[in-house]
């Protein structure tokens, strides 16, 4: 079966760095996405990785290792507004998105 695993909840301090991990097992791979979802709102796109390595976009970076079925989202200089759920999703061989359950990130002052 297809499976996406990510931690349920993480806590970090304002100004610090946090890494959210995602491991996956899917039938085929056509890229991995990270989305941010604030409570009561729709998910918004953060990043897309299809090749191994690190993609940096401002305070957010995303890493992919296809051989290990592993990705992480790195958030730097955390701000209170970063408190949200972060969803990992993998596009399988049918170009369908398989979603993780999301990681709720709590930022403390």
Partner 1 sequence: SAVISQKPSRDICQRGTSLTIQCQVDSQVTMMFWYRQQPGQSLTLIATANQGSEATYESGFVIDKFPISRPNLTFSTLTVSNMSPEDSSIYLCSVSTGEGTEAFFGQGTRLTVV
Binding residues vs partner 1 (CB under 8 A): 30-31, 33, 40-45, 48, 50, 87, 91, 95-97, 99-102, 104
Least Å distance between CB 15 and partner 1? Answer: 27
CA distance 86 to 103: 5
Q: Which lies closer to partner 1 via its Cβ, residue 69 or residue 102?
A: 102
Least Å distance between CB 13 and partner 1? Answer: 23
Least Å distance between CB 53 and partner 1? Answer: 17
Q: How far is CA 80 from CA 16, 34, 45, 83, 109, in A?
A: 11, 19, 19, 6, 8
Q: Which lies closer to partner 1 via its Cβ, residue 18 or residue 32?
A: 32
Structure tokens at 39: 């409570």
Identify the DSSP state of 7.
-
């Amino acid at each position: 079966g297809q499976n996406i695993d990510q931690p349920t909840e993480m806590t970090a301090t304002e100004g610090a760095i946090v890494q959210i991990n995602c491991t996956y097992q899917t039938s085929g791979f056509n890229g991995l996405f990270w989305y941010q979802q604030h409570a009561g709102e729709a998910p918004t796109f953060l990043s897309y990785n299809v090749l191994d390595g690190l993609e940096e976009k401002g305070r957010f970076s995303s890493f992919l290792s296809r051989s290990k079925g592993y990705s992480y989202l790195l958030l730097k200089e955390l701000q209170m507004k970063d408190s949200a759920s972060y969803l990992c999703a993998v596009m399988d061989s049918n170009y369908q998105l398989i979603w993780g359950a999301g990681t709720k990130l709590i930022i403390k002052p």
